Each structure stands twice: as C-alpha cells, then as structure tokens.
Amino acid sequence: MIVRVLWFASLRDRTGRREETVEVEPDDDVRGLWERLASRHPRLGEVTVRPMVACDRAYATWDRRLRGVSEVAFLPPVSGG
C-alpha cells in the first residue's frame, strides 16, 4: 500500500522535501512510519517535540493504523502570541 507523506514548515526543511511516497503495510501505524522516515531522513532525529499528525486531512494519534489511509501529514508544533 502506498501512502503520500506531506512535510510542513521546519520538518520540510529537515527532510528537504514537501512530500514523498512510502510503501507501508496496512497494520503499520503512524509511529512506525515516523521511525522508518527518520532512518531515511537523519535530521528528523533532532526533533525534540513530537509533531502533530493528520491522516487524510483529519488529526490523528500516533497509534493510528494506516489501513485505508492515502495521505499522512506531519506538522510541527507552532506557537504564537
């Protein structure tokens, strides 16, 4: 199963990509996907705060299974005032 991964803000800077495609198994979860992507993009290992994640444009948890998901977006935390 192929999943489209979208990177935003500082995560895009760390990976050097806006998006990429990754082959996953239906029982894989977001956490496993992140770990696989971190091995592909070593600068993700520098991330100290877990990014927010969305699956098919809806916020999701890190234990969300990827069965039926076609797009995963990783969004770094933001702050403002």
CA 26/CA 57 separation, integer angstroms: 18
Alpha carbon of residue 46 to chain centroid: 15
Taking the model in full, what pTM does it have?
Answer: 0.92
CA 40/CA 3 separation, integer angstroms: 15
Summarize pLDDT for 4-60 with one digit per residue, the tens.
999 999 999 999 999 999 999 989 999 999 999 999 999 999 988 999 999 999 999
Residue 79 has pLDDT above 70, yes or no: no
In this prediction, residue 77 has a pLDDT band, given cuts at 50, 70 and 90, of: confident
Task: Name all domains of the chain by residue range, CATH numbers in brackets.
Answer: 2-75 (3.10.20.30)
